[in-house]
Amino acid sequence: TTRTTTASANAPKLTFPIILLLLQVIFIILFALHSDYGHEPKTLTEHELFSKVNTLIIASRHRGSVQYPNGTFDPNIIVISEPHRGINDLYSMFQDIHIMIFIGFGFLMTFLKRYGYSAVGYNFLIAAFVLEWALLIRGYMFDFDFDTKKFPIDVERIIVADFVAAAILISFGALLGKTTPTQLIIMCLIEVVLQSVNEWIGLRRFCAFDIGESMFVHVFGAYFGIAVSIMLYDRALTTNTHVEEKEKPVYHSDLFSMVGTLFLFCFWPSFNAGVAAAGDARLRAVVNTYISISASVLLTYILSSVLGKGKFEMVHIQNATLAGGVAVGTVADKIIRPAGALLVGSLAGSLSTVGFKIILPILKKLKIHDTCGVNNLHGMPGILAAVVGIILASMPNYSLYNDNLARSCFHGVSRTPLQQVGYQAATLGVTLLIAIGGGLITGFILRLPIFNKKDVLTYYDDDTYWDTPADFHYIDRQEKDRLIVLERDVLHA
Amino acid sequence: TTRTTTASANAPKLTFPIILLLLQVIFIILFALHSDYGHEPKTLTEHELFSKVNTLIIASRHRGSVQYPNGTFDPNIIVISEPHRGINDLYSMFQDIHIMIFIGFGFLMTFLKRYGYSAVGYNFLIAAFVLEWALLIRGYMFDFDFDTKKFPIDVERIIVADFVAAAILISFGALLGKTTPTQLIIMCLIEVVLQSVNEWIGLRRFCAFDIGESMFVHVFGAYFGIAVSIMLYDRALTTNTHVEEKEKPVYHSDLFSMVGTLFLFCFWPSFNAGVAAAGDARLRAVVNTYISISASVLLTYILSSVLGKGKFEMVHIQNATLAGGVAVGTVADKIIRPAGALLVGSLAGSLSTVGFKIILPILKKLKIHDTCGVNNLHGMPGILAAVVGIILASMPNYSLYNDNLARSCFHGVSRTPLQQVGYQAATLGVTLLIAIGGGLITGFILRLPIFNKKDVLTYYDDDTYWDTPADFHYIDRQEKDRLIVLERDVLHA
Amino acid sequence: TTRTTTASANAPKLTFPIILLLLQVIFIILFALHSDYGHEPKTLTEHELFSKVNTLIIASRHRGSVQYPNGTFDPNIIVISEPHRGINDLYSMFQDIHIMIFIGFGFLMTFLKRYGYSAVGYNFLIAAFVLEWALLIRGYMFDFDFDTKKFPIDVERIIVADFVAAAILISFGALLGKTTPTQLIIMCLIEVVLQSVNEWIGLRRFCAFDIGESMFVHVFGAYFGIAVSIMLYDRALTTNTHVEEKEKPVYHSDLFSMVGTLFLFCFWPSFNAGVAAAGDARLRAVVNTYISISASVLLTYILSSVLGKGKFEMVHIQNATLAGGVAVGTVADKIIRPAGALLVGSLAGSLSTVGFKIILPILKKLKIHDTCGVNNLHGMPGILAAVVGIILASMPNYSLYNDNLARSCFHGVSRTPLQQVGYQAATLGVTLLIAIGGGLITGFILRLPIFNKKDVLTYYDDDTYWDTPADFHYIDRQEKDRLIVLERDVLHA
C-alpha cells in the first residue's frame, strides 16, 4: 500500500535515519573500545569442594597445635567470595522485566484509536535504543575499570539497562502522540544521561534506598516527560475538536491496552525484587509488591465506581490498578509487614484514580498535557513511595537502611536514622530537580526548528510516519456515519 | 465520554464500592493482626559450610575412639533440615501461574462481542480480591501458629492463593455476562472459604493426592459456578434473540480469546508442577502435562472437524485444547508414563469437544446455562482426572500414593491401596457435594433483592457498568446494516 | 452459527481427521513401547555431603601414610559426576521458548485480515503435533538406549522438541494461507524427520557449532518452506486482485501481529542460550543475543524509513527487527564481544529490511511466493549466521570450536581450525541441500490429488475451514463501502 497523504509531505525524510545511523555507528565504536562480557559466578564443583576440604584436613593434621578460636579455621585457606549473582539467580526475573518493557509499556499505550502502530512501534524503538545507550552510560559511570579500560556486561547490567528504558518510556507516555520519532531519539539521548547521573547521586553519594526504583525510574521518568510536554504544548491540544477526537480509544484498542496492564501487574514483583539482595529481602520485595499492587486494584475499582457514578472507566483500570507497585517500590524489600503493603497499595490506587479523574483535567487547563496520565500512575505514586521511604528511614529496625551504607557514603556506616531521613528526602528533591530542569531544557531543544516539530493536526495519527492499511482511512468516515446514525436514533427515540 | 443510557439508571451506584471498601478495611486489620513474612530457605555460605566441616574435623580428632557405624557421624553436630523451597525453586513457575490467572483466564473470556471490558476487567478484580482473601483464609486454616498468633506468607503461599483464584475464576466463567460486580464479590467471599474447607478435608483428612488441583480447583470451580448459574437462570437467556445475539463473538474478540488460550496452554506444566516435590516428581509433572495437553490439542482438532463437518469451531480450539492439562492434573507427578499422558490427554480433548458441541446445548435446554462452557473444560475433564487418580491409587508402585500420607491422616502410613482408592473417591464426592451445595446456596443469596439482580436485557453488555467508547454503540447499528446487506445479497444471488 | 458457503463444499470432510487420528494412535503405541521419563540431576543433600566428607576424614585418619600429591585425594572415594541439568537450570528458559513457539510464531502470523483464526489455530495444531512427533524421532535418532529399548524425556528434550517445532512453523510461514490442514500435517510428518536427520549430520558427524540453531532451524525451515511453496505455486497468487486483496492486513490484525513480534524479541536470548553450556558460555549467549537483536531493531527502523521515504512499514517492524536474533545464533555463545554482536545485528536488520522491500517482490515475479517473507527473517539472516560461524571457526581462541568436538567426530579432537571451517561450511551446504531437496519432494507429494489441493480463491480465507462469526462476512461489504466513500471523497476534494 503506497497511498500518500498531505500529511506525509511534512514528514522529515532523512533526519531520522541519518541521526540514528550516526548514533549506532558511535555506539559500535564505544562498545568495541570499552565493553566486555562479565562473568557468571563460579560454582564449586564437587571436585573443587572436596579438594578444598582435603586441603583443610591435611592442614589440620600437619598443624595439630594450631588453635581454632570461635570454631573457625585458617583464613588463608578459605576464600570467602562476595556473593555474585548470575543467570540462575536473576534470569527469570530479568525476562519478566524485559516483557514489562516491551509488551507491558508497549501495549499499555495502544489505547488511542489511531495511534496503535506508533505506540507499540516507538516503544519498541525507544527501548531498543535505550538498552544500547544505557549499557554504555552505565558502564562508564558505574562499572568502568581504569586498569583494563573496560566495563563488564552481565545479567545484572542488562536488568539495569531495562530499568533505564522504563524511565524513558514513562516520559514517552506523557508525550504520546505529540512528537516525531527524531524528537524521541534526541530525548532518549539526553534523558538516559540525566537519569543515570541522578541515580548515581542517589545511590553512590546519598546512599538512599530505592530498591524498586520508584524515585529513580518512576518519579524521574514522569516529571521529565511532563516537563518536556510543557515545552511542547500547543493550545490546539485542548481546543481543536478534531485533535481531541483522536485522543480517544475505540473498543478494541482498549482491550489491546489491557494486555499491557496485565503483564505489568503480574511481573511487578519481579521489577521490585529484581536486584534485591538474595534471601529474605528478596522474598519481602516479592510479597510486599504482590500484596500492594492487589490492594491498588481493589481501591481503583472502588473509586472508579464512585467517581463514575456506578460506571468503571477503562483508563483507571488500565493504569491506576498498577499504582500499588510503584508506591511500594522504594521500601519493597524492607519490613513494612503485609498490612503495611496493603495500606500503601490502597492509598496509591486511590490517589491514582483521583489523579486521573480530577487532577488530570485541571492540569490540562494549566497547559500541562499528559497523554497517558503518567503523573497519576508514576509521578504521584512515586512521590508517595519516596514519602513512605522517608518515614521508614526513621525506623532503623524496619528500614534496615544501614544495609545500603558503604564506605563511599558521606558519613559512612555511622549514619543516624535522622541523617538517613535527610538523604532520602534529598534524593527525592534532587530527582525532581534534575527531572524537571532536564525536561524543560530537553523540551526547549526539541522545539528547535531542525527537529521538525510536528503539525498539531497530525497528532495521535499513525498515518504521518507509518504506511497504514486501507481500513485505517475508513475510521474517520465510520465516525461520521456513526454520529449521523446516533442523531437519527435520538430523533426517533 | 459521559453518555448515559437507560441501563445505567439501574446500576447499583454505591452498593459495590461500600461493600468492597468495608471488606478491604477488614482485610487490612486481619493482615495487621495475624500475617507475617515467611522465610527464604537458608543456604549455607561457603564460610558456614567450612565452619561445619571444621567442627567435624576437630571433633574427629578429639574423639578418636568414637565409633562411626554405617559411615555416619555424630548426629548432634549436623542438622539435616527439611527441604524448604524459596524463590530460586518456585518463583519462575509462580510467575507462569500468575500469568495464567490474569492473562490466561482474563483473555480467554473476552470472546463475547460486547463484554470484553467486563471479561478481562472483572477477571482482574476477582483475582486481586481473591489473592488477598485466600492468603487470609489459607493462613488461618492451614498455617496458623497458635504461639505467635501469626501465619507466614512466602512464595509457596502466594502460589496457593493463585490456585484459589483459578477456582473462583472458573466459576465466573459459568456466570460470564450474567452478574453484577457486587454479586461477584459476594460469590468470592463465600467460595474462597468453601473451596479452602474442601481442600483442607481432601488434603489433610483424606490425604488424597491431586497435585495439579484438578479436583480442588477445576471440579470445584466448575460445579460451584454451574450451581450458582442454575439459581440465577432466566428464561430470556435462551428465548430472547437480542440476548442470544449478544452471546456471540466477533472476529477480533475470538482472536483476543486465543491470547488467553495459548498462555494457559504453555504454562499448564507450571500449574501442575508448581508445588510438586523437587526432583523426579516435578520432572514427571512437567513432562506428563506437556504431553497430555498436546494430545488434547490434536483430538480437539480431530473432533471439531468431524462434528463441524469439515469446519473447526473457535470455541473448541479456545477451550477443549486445554482439557489435557486438567485431566492429567491429579496424577501429573505420578508414574503414568508418557504414553499414559498421551492417552489421558486424548480422552480429555475428545470429551471436552463433544461436551461443547453436544452436551452444552442439552444442558441449556435443561435450564443449566454455562456461558464459557466450564463443564466441558474444567468439570468433566476434572472428573476424568479424579477417575484416573482413583484407578492409579490401586497401583501403589505407580501412584506412589504413600508419599502423601502423614501421621495426621486417618489410618496413617499403614493405609492399603484399596483404602487410598476409597479416599480418592471420597475426595471427589465431597468436592462435588460442597461445590454444588455451596453453589446453590450462594446462588440463592445472590438472588436476594439487596444484591440488585441484573436486568436480563443488560446481559453480556459492558455498557451497564463501564464507560464505553463511541464505536461500542455503533456495533448494534452495524449489525443491522450487515443483516440488510446480507439479505440483499441473498435476494440478488 | 451454521452458515454454509459455497467454499465449504470443497472442504475435505474426513481426510484430515482420519489421518490425524491414525497418526495419534501410532504415536501412542510408539510412546508406550519406547519412551520413559528422564531424571532430574541428583543434588547432594547436606546429609549426603557430610557423609562423604566423613568418609574422607576416616580414610585420611586410617591411611595416615598415604601420599597426597598435588593436594588431591583418593579418586576412589569421590565420584565426580558429569554436569547434568534439570528444572532449576533449564525450566525458565524452556517456558520462554515455549511461549515463542505458541504465542510468538502464532500471533506473528495473524497479520492477514481474514486469516487470523487459521494463522494462530494452525500454528497451535502444527506445534502440538510436532512436539509429539519430534519427541519420538529425536528419541529414536539421538537418545535410544539399545539395552533398555527406551529413550528418555526430560526438560532438555522438551526444549529440543520446541526447537524442531520452530523449524516447521517457519516453513508454515512461507505457505501461510495457501494450504489445507491436511497438507500441513503431511508436511510436518516429513519435515520433522528431515530436519532431525540434517541436525544429526551437522551435530554428530560434522561436529559443527550452532548453539541457537540458526542453520538447523532457521535456514532449514525457511528454505524447506520456500521449496514447498514453489511446488504449490499458482499464478492467481500474483494476478488475481481478489486474492491479492486478501493478502493484506487490517489495522488491528497488524497489532495482533506485534504481540507475536515482541514476545519473540524478548525471549530470543532464551532461544539462543537455552541449551548452551552453563557458566560464561551461557552468559555470552544471553548478552550477545540481547545486544544483537536490539541492533537489528534500530537498523530496521533506519532502513524502513529510508526505503519508505519517511514512512515505516509494519511488516518490517514485525519481522526484520528480529533478524539480529537469527544472525547471531550460530555464534551466540562464542567470544564475539558485544561490539561484534552489535555489528552482526546491524547487518542482519539491514539485510532483512532490504529483503522485505526489494527481494521479496523480485522473488514473487520469479514465481517464488513467500507469504510471511521467511526468506528475509529466517533464510538470509540464517545464512549470515552460518557465514559468521565460518569466519569465527578460523579463530580458535574466539570460537572455542573444540568444545564441540568429541571422539565420535571425524578427526576427533585433533581437528584444525581450517578443518572446522570446512565442516561449518559443509553443514550449511548440507542443510540447504536437504531443505530444498526435501521441500521440493514434499511439495510434489502435497500436490497429489488425494491431499485435496485448495481452490486458490479460498486462499487467505478462514471461512473455508473455520466456522466464522457474522462480522467476518461483513468485511467484504465494508471494503466495498469504503472504496465508494473514498472515491466520493476524492471527487469532492
pLDDT band for B409, please (50, 70, 90 cuts).
confident
**Residue C311, phi then psi, degrees to nearest 5:** -115, 130
Contact A88 C88 (CB under 8 A): yes
pLDDT band for C399, please (50, 70, 90 cuts).
confident
Q: What is the pLDDT of residue C451?
A: 83
**pLDDT higher than 90, residue B31:** yes
With a pLDDT cut of 90, the percent of chain C lying above it is: 72
**pLDDT higher than 60, residue B74:** no
Q: What is the pLDDT of residue B53?
A: 62
SS (H, E, C) chain A: CCCCCCHHHHCCCCHHHHHHHHHHHHHHHHHHHHEEECCCCCCCCHHHHHHHHHHHHHHHHHCCCCCCHHHCCCCCCCCCCCCCCCHHHHHHHHHHHHHHHHHHHHHHHHHCCCCHHHHHHHHHHHHHHHHHHHHHHHHHHHCCECCCCEEEECHHHHHHHHHHHHHHHHHHHHHCCCCCHHHHHHHHHHHHHHHHHHHHHHHHHCCCCCCCCHHHHHHHHHHHHHHHHHHCCCCHHHHCHHHHHHCCCCHHHHHHHHHHHHHHHHHHHHHHHCCCCCCHHHHHHHHHHHHHHHHHHHHHHHHHHHHCCCCECHHHHHHHHHHHHHHCCCCCCCCCHHHHHHHHHHHHHHHHHHHHHHHHHHHHHCCCCCCCCHHHHHHHHHHHHHHHHHHHHCCHHHHCHHHHCCCCCCCHHHCCHHHHHHHHHHHHHHHHHHHHHHHHHHHHHHHCHHHCCCCHHHCCCHHHCECCCHHHHHHHHHHHHHHHHHHHHHHHC
Contact B311 C39 (CB under 8 A): no
Crossing angle of the two packed helices A87-99 and A251-273, in degrees rounded to 10? 160
A77 vs C106, higher pLDDT: C106
Contact A465 C310 (CB under 8 A): yes
* Nearest-angstrom CA–CA distance, B430 and B433: 5
pLDDT band for C240, please (50, 70, 90 cuts).
confident
pLDDT band for C337, please (50, 70, 90 cuts).
very high
User: Which of B52, B338, B482 is closest, CB to CB, to C153?
Assistant: B338
pLDDT band for C48, please (50, 70, 90 cuts).
low
Q: What is the pLDDT of residue C471?
A: 82
pLDDT band for A190, please (50, 70, 90 cuts).
very high
Contact C80 A45 (CB under 8 A): yes
**pLDDT higher than 50, residue A403:** yes
pLDDT tens profile B442-457: 999 999 988 866 688 8
Contact C24 B346 (CB under 8 A): yes
Q: What is the pLDDT of residue B407?
A: 63
**pLDDT higher than 90, residue C483:** no
C396 vs B230, higher pLDDT: B230
Q: What is the pLDDT of residue C488?
A: 60
- Arithmetic mean of pLDDT, B100-104: 98
- Arithmetic mean of pLDDT, C4-18: 64
Query: Do the beta carbons of residue A262 and residue B102 sit within 8 Å?
Result: yes
Contact B310 C98 (CB under 8 A): no
Q: What is the pLDDT of residue A408?
A: 67
User: Which of C13, C37, C128 is closest, CB to CB, to B297?
Assistant: C128
User: Which of B17, B58, B470 is closest, CB to CB, to A302?
Assistant: B17
- Arithmetic mean of pLDDT, A341-349: 98
Q: Which chains touch A (3 or more CB pairs under 8 A)?
A: B, C
- Arithmetic mean of pLDDT, C227-256: 92
Query: Within 10 Å of residue C200's Cβ, how many Cβ atoms?
Result: 16
User: Which of C56, C298, C310 is closest, CB to CB, to A50?
Assistant: C56
Q: What is the pLDDT of residue B233?
A: 94
Contact A479 B470 (CB under 8 A): yes
**pLDDT higher than 50, residue C74:** no
Average pLDDT, chain A: 88
- ipTM of this model? 0.91
Gap from B463 CA to chain A (nearest CA, Å): 8
Contact B21 A302 (CB under 8 A): yes
With a pLDDT cut of 70, the percent of chain A lying above it is: 83
pLDDT band for C264, please (50, 70, 90 cuts).
very high
* Nearest-angstrom CA–CA distance, C286 and C279: 11
Q: In A, which residues are within 8 Å of C262 by CB distance?
A: 102-103, 106, 120, 124
Contact C20 B270 (CB under 8 A): no
User: Which of C270, C308, C342 is closest, CB to CB, to A31?
Assistant: C342
C452 vs B280, higher pLDDT: B280
Predicted TM-score of the model (pTM): 0.92
Query: Do the beta carbons of residue C208 and residue C181 sit within 8 Å?
Result: no
Contact B54 A44 (CB under 8 A): no
The size of the A-C interface in CB pairs under 8 A is: 225
pLDDT band for A415, please (50, 70, 90 cuts).
confident
pLDDT band for A197, please (50, 70, 90 cuts).
very high
Q: Residue B477's closest chain A neighbor by CA?
A: A485
- Arithmetic mean of pLDDT, A427-431: 98
Q: Which chains touch C (3 or more CB pairs under 8 A)?
A: A, B
Q: In C, which residues are within 8 Å of A16 by CB distance?
A: 301-302, 305, 310
* Nearest-angstrom CA–CA distance, A239 and A40: 57
Contacts of A416 (CB under 8 A, 6+ apart): none
Query: Do the beta carbons of residue C274 and residue C156 sit within 8 Å?
Result: no
pLDDT band for C405, please (50, 70, 90 cuts).
confident
Contact C297 A51 (CB under 8 A): no
Q: In A, which residues are within 8 Å of C81 by CB distance?
A: 46
User: Which of A80, A282, A298 is closest, CB to CB, to B24?
Assistant: A298
pLDDT band for B78, please (50, 70, 90 cuts).
very low
- Arithmetic mean of pLDDT, C325-335: 97
User: Which of C81, C283, C291 is closest, CB to CB, to A154?
Assistant: C283
Q: What is the pLDDT of residue C78?
A: 32
Contact B68 C46 (CB under 8 A): no
CB < 8 Å & 24+ apart, contacts of B425-430: B425/B386, B425/B390, B426/B206, B426/B208, B427/B201, B427/B202, B427/B206, B427/B208, B427/B210, B427/B215, B427/B386, B428/B215, B428/B219, B428/B383, B428/B386, B428/B390, B430/B198, B430/B201, B430/B202, B430/B206
pLDDT band for B12, please (50, 70, 90 cuts).
low
Contact C155 B250 (CB under 8 A): no
**pLDDT higher than 90, residue B318:** yes
**pLDDT higher than 60, residue A22:** yes
pLDDT tens profile A33-79: 999 999 988 655 555 666 666 665 555 544 333 333 333 333 333 33
Average pLDDT, chain C: 88
User: Which of A283, A343, A482 is closest, CB to CB, to B470?
Assistant: A482
End-to-end CA distance of chain A: give it in Å, rounded: 42
Mutation to test the B interface, candidates C93, C466, C482, most B Cβ within 10 Å:
C466
**pLDDT higher than 90, residue C455:** no
Q: What is the pLDDT of residue C71?
A: 34
Contact B40 A279 (CB under 8 A): yes
pLDDT tens profile C172-200: 999 999 999 999 999 999 999 999 999 99
Contact C250 A469 (CB under 8 A): yes
Average pLDDT, chain B: 88
Mutation to test the B interface, candidates A84, A88, A250, A283, most B Cβ within 10 Å:
A283
**pLDDT higher than 60, residue B311:** yes
Q: What is the pLDDT of residue B151?
A: 97
- Arithmetic mean of pLDDT, C360-375: 96
Q: In A, which residues are within 8 Å of C290 by CB distance?
A: 131, 158
Q: What is the pLDDT of residue C452?
A: 66
Q: Residue A476's closest chain B neighbor by CA?
A: B471
pLDDT band for B399, please (50, 70, 90 cuts).
confident
